[in-house]
Amino acid sequence: MNAVVEERPITERPSAVRLRDVGKTFRGRRRRTPALEGVSLDIEAGEFLCLLGPSGCGKSTLLGILAGFVPADAGEVLVGGRPVAGPGPDRGVLFQTPTLFPWLTTRQNVLYGPKARGALTPEVAEEADALLETVGLADFRDAYPHELSGGMRHRAAFARVLINHPSVLLMDEPFGALDAITRAGMQRFLLELWQRHRMTIVFVTHDVEEATLLGDRVAVLSGRPGRTKAVVDIPLKRPRVYEDNETLEFVTAKRRIREVLEQ
Ligand SMILES: Nc1ncnc2c1ncn2[C@@H]1O[C@H](COP(=O)(O)OP(=O)(O)OP(=O)(O)O)[C@@H](O)[C@H]1O
């Protein structure tokens, strides 16, 4: 078994995200659910990290903590060297269901954030148009969400997040609900985007194949309460394409992750 739990001292590499002994217990009136315990992880700036683990191990909770939606009740959570105290435009969040306002057009959706912050300038509007071009929605800038396909809605949600120039992109099973072909297209799109912008990505997935294709490393959480079980390096060359998934290197990397998961 080659997988190792990595401890990368923060002083050695620039760390975009630092988690130290993070814990979270949900306390209801009748039930107390420990979701995370002692989670420690350093994610480098520009790294693509996938978060994998059994259902209910706290992956979404961890992402929610990084996004600032869910307060941790133990440990240290730093993004860009600063403690997370709530949501912020430095962290873009994308969910399985793209969050778009149904009463706004694609372009208006993209411009919603800057407008709400009072930062809508002609330059930002120009940037929105360039982003719509990048995500292949220039011809649909005046369409409403219900007029877009599933993949198009995802790309619109991407543009909506990217207009804020987030340094960290937090993605919670973003392609989980898509059909296989659209999903492969979105994976390709995400890899190209990341290759170009090199933002830090934390990507939650159930899918070992998806984690192997996308990640520089895969952090595997144990069953509830989630703990960092291992961080597995994916030593596959970049740029990667979906068609690589039958190569020996790919299959070997996938097997290593599966072994850790099943341990
Ligand atoms: N708001 C909440 N209130 C109470 N319990 C919660 C809440 N959110 C999550 N939990 C509990 O915390 C645990 C972790 O949930 P979480 O959604 O983070 O897991 P997950 O790994 O993302 O699961 P899945 O892979 O099934 O999406 C679960 O037992 C869940 O029931």
Element (H, E) at 76: strand 74-79
Report pLDDT digits (tens) over 216-228: 999 999 988 999 9
Structure tokens belonging to residue 2: 């080659």
DSSP secondary structure letters along 9-50: -TTTS-EEEEEEEEEEEEE-SS-EEEEEEEEEEEEETT-EEE
Contact 131, 111 (CB under 8 A): no
Find, among 113, 115, 66, the residue nearest to 86 by Cα: 66
Higher-pLDDT residue of 203 and 151 is 203
Ligand 1 pocket test, pick from 59, 73, 93 with the greatest ligand atom count within 8 Å of Cβ, gives: 59
- 196 pLDDT higher than 90: no
Among residues of the chain, what percentage have pLDDT more than 90? 66
- Give burial (CB, 10 Å; 0-12/13-18/19+) of 124: middle
Measured distance CA(224)–CA(33) in Å, rounded: 9
* Distance (Å) from CA 34 to ligand 1 centroid: 9
Per-residue pLDDT, averaged over 234-245, amounts to: 87
Report pLDDT digits (tens) over 134-155: 888 999 999 999 999 988 999 9
- Residue with CA nearest ligand 1 atom 26: 55
Q: What is the pTM of this model?
A: 0.90
Ligand 1 pocket test, pick from 60, 73, 173, 221 with the greatest ligand atom count within 8 Å of Cβ, gives: 60
- The pLDDT score that the predictor gives to residue 1 is 41
pLDDT band at 175 (very low <50, low <70, confident <90, very high): confident
Quote ipTM for the complex: 0.98
Contact 45, 200 (CB under 8 A): yes
* Distance (Å) from CA 224 to ligand 1 centroid: 9
For 134-225, strand residue ranges (E) read 168-172, 200-204, 217-221
Report pLDDT digits (tens) over 1-57: 444 444 444 334 456 999 999 999 999 999 999 999 999 999 999 999 999 999 999
Helix (H, G, I), strand (E, B) or coil at 221: strand
- The pLDDT score that the predictor gives to residue 14 is 53
Structure tokens belonging to residue 181: 């072909």
- 160 pLDDT higher than 70: yes
- Residue with CA nearest ligand 1 atom 30: 56
